[in-house]
Amino acid sequence: MWRNTWLIAALGLRRSLRDRSILIQALLAPVVIALVVGAAFGSGFSLNVTIGIADADRSEISTQIAKGLVGSGGDGIAFSAVADPQSVQAAVESGSYDAVVVMPAGLGEAVLSGQDAQLDVVGVATQPLARSVAEAVAGGVAAELQTARVTRWPRTRPAWKTSPRRSRRRWRPRRRSPWSRGKWTARSP
Tell me the per-residue pLDDT of 117-168, one tens digit each, with 9 for 90 and over. Answer: 788 999 887 888 889 989 999 888 888 887 776 555 455 554 444 545 544 5
In 14-126, at which residue ranges do the beta strands (DSSP E only) sit? Answer: 49-55, 73-74, 77-81, 99-103, 120-123
Which tens digits make up the pLDDT trace of 18-71? 877 777 777 788 888 888 888 777 766 678 899 999 999 988 888 988 998 987
pLDDT at residue 44, as a whole number: 67
- Structure confidence at residue 178 as a pLDDT band (50, 70, 90): low
> Distance between CA 36 and CA 32 in Å, rounded?
6
* pTM score: 0.57
Distance between CA 1 and CA 85 in Å, rounded? 86
Residue 25 has what DSSP assignment?
Answer: I
Q: Please report, as a single letter, which amino acid is at residue 159.
A: A
Q: CA nearest 119: which of 108, 64, 128, 79?
A: 108
pLDDT exceeds cutoff 80 at 179: no
Please report, for the chain, the start and end positions of each structural domain, with discontinuous segments joined by +. 10-37, 49-152
CATH topology of domain 49-152: D-Maltodextrin-Binding Protein; domain 2 (3.40.190)
Inter-axis angle of helices 60-70 and 128-152, nearest 10: 130
Pairwise CA distance, residues 96 & 175, whole Å: 64
pLDDT one-digit tens code per residue, 102-126: 999 988 888 888 788 788 999 887 8
d(CA 105, CA 75): 31
pLDDT attached to residue 19 = 79
Residues 86 and 71: their CA atoms lie apart, in Å, by: 22
